[in-house]
């Protein structure tokens, strides 16, 4: 398909057209021309949208669907459509499927299932066989099949020697190791943040210490082994400080934070709404302020939706029995755009591409078109009407968001 974007404001500091309002001609997936005014020609679809802004395609470093094994939660086909309508041209898919993505064959299945789509799917391979934390999975073979990183989703590596070996081994092929930050011995049977609110509600708590101890351990191991470590979805003020200090030492450590940990606190739990049951648990306003500061000074490398569809049978139950997780693709831009500047929002939605080594092209003539289309203005209340996912477990229902997403142009296709 060929497209002509009319009067599009470019938000891309790496582009010579940054902050300019231009027409963008895309032919066969390539940006053919950019100018103040371009004429529509035959076989070109003209796209004129209110207050149209474009940026480099957004990348989400932590997305779960369900397929294979849990298709009732979300299929790959619908999940990629949701991602496109939410502005994401690339997603890293977590290995929490059935079977677990721990072989080159399972990585190949995901790549094949998602090919020919506007949104690029990048599998994350499990770090250990069946994500059981006992034996390393076939990391190199999975990388050769298309895996971009290795980690056990929401499962901490309790054996420090296993993580040490993984960090050493992955250096042979420049692999990126993920380590979920939770010491299970400290977390115990906790479900929410351990502080005043958990006591008032009578819910077992997970102290911030559980996250911070694990991060401290992992950073010591990284300093010893070298290699590259990514710590997904940090949530506490002390975690930010620990990673800030590690980066100052020159360690190759990166981290992400979920959008809901930048916006929601444990005060939401008073409703006992299971959509707020997430891992890590929602923390305090003090933690949010530290996380936002971490974004502004570059300690936190990226923001993820941490999109995790859970079917109603496993969410609309007693709080103790409900599964962890919230969907987030549809709401991430609107939430971030409410609390960060537009340029900060775009930066944290695209910076993960460099960390995970996926294509990251600026908006310029001759480059592939990998674009997110959006309007940063206007406020609305996020409701079920905004939810395109099969599962509806959003923690943001009823919250105010800023701006709206039109869609994407990527891989020679447009979903708008």
Q: Which residue numbers are catalytic?
A: 306
The label of the residue with tokens 């949104």 reads 119
Q: How far is 189 from 301, CA to CA, in rounded Å?
A: 30
Compute how many other C-beta atoms are within 10 angstroms of the C-beta atom of residue 51. 14
Beta bridge partners of 62: none
Instruction: Give the pairing of strands 400-410 and 371-381.
Output: antiparallel
The label of the residue with tokens 């590690």 reads 246
DSSP state of 287: H
Q: How far is CA 172 from CA 68, 139, 371, in A?
A: 30, 11, 34
What is the secondary structure of 34-100 as a DSSP string?
EES-----TT-EEE--TT-EEEEPEEEEEE---TTT-TTT--HHHHHHHHHHTTEEEEEEPS-SSS-
Q: How far is 226 from 281, CA to CA, in rounded Å?
A: 30
Buried b (16+ CB within 10 A) or exposed e, 375-384: bbeeeeebee
Report the half-sphere exposure of 210 (CA within 13 A, side-chain side): 26
DSSP H or E segment with residue 382:
none
Report the chain's terminal Cα–Cα distance, integer Å. 13
3-state secondary structure (DSSP) of residue 407: strand
The label of the residue with tokens 């081994």 reads 169
Buried b (16+ CB within 10 A) or exposed e, 118-146: bbbbbbbbbbbbebebeebbbbbebbebb
3-state secondary structure (DSSP) of residue 282: coil
Two tokens, residue 140 = 């190199």
Two tokens, residue 19 = 């902050």
Q: How far is 9 from 309, CA to CA, in rounded Å?
A: 33
- Rounded-to-5 percentages of helix, strand, coil across the chain: 35, 25, 40
Find out whether 95 and 126 touch, Cβ atoms under 8 Å.
Answer: yes
């Amino acid at each position: 398909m060929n497209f002509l974007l009319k009067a599009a404001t470019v938000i891309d500091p790496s582009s010579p057209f940054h902050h300019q309002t231009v027409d963008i001609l895309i032919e066969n997936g390539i940006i053919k021309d950019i100018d103040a005014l371009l004429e529509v020609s035959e076989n070109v679809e003209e796209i004129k949208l209110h207050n149209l802004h474009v940026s480099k395609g957004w990348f989400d470093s932590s997305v779960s669907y369900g397929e294979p094994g849990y298709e009732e939660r979300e299929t790959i086909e619908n999940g990629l459509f949701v991602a496109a309508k939410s502005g994401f041209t690339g997603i890293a898919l977590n290995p929490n499927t059935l079977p677990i993505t721990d072989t080159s064959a399972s990585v190949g299945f995901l790549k094949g299932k998602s090919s020919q789509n506007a949104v690029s799917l990048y599998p994350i391979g499990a770090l250990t066989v069946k994500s059981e934390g006992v034996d390393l999975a076939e990391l190199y073979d999975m990388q050769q099949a298309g895996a971009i990183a290795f980690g056990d989703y929401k499962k901490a590596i309790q054996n420090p020697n296993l993580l040490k070996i993984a960090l050493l081994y992955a250096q042979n092929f420049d692999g990126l190791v993920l380590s979920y930050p939770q010491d299970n011995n400290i977390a115990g049977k906790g479900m929410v943040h351990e502080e005043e609110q958990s006591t008032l509600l009578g819910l077992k708590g997970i102290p911030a210490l559980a996250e911070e101890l694990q991060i401290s351990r992992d950073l010591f191991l990284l300093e010893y082994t070298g290699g590259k470590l990514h710590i997904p979805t940090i949530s506490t003020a002390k975690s930010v400080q620990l990673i800030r200090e590690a980066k100052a030492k020159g360690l190759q450590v990166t981290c992400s934070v979920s959008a809901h940990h930048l916006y929601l606190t444990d005060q939401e739990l008073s409703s006992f709404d299971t959509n707020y049951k997430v891992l890590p648990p929602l923390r305090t306003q003090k933690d949010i302020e530290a996380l936002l500061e971490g974004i502004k000074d570059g300690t936190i490398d990226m923001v993820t939706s941490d999109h995790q569809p859970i079917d109603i049978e496993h969410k609309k139950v007693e709080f103790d029995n409900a599964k962890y997780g919230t969907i987030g693709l549809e709401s991430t831009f609107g939430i971030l755009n409410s609390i960060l500047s537009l340029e900060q929002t775009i930066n944290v939605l695209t910076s993960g591409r460099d960390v995970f080594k996926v294509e990251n092209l600026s908006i310029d003539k001759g480059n592939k078109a990998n674009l997110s289309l959006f309007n940063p203005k206007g406020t609305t209340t996020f409701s079920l009407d905004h939810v395109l996912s099969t599962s509806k477990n959003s923690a943001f229902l009823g919250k105010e968001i800023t701006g709206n997403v039109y869609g994407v142009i990527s891989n020679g296709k447009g979903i708008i």
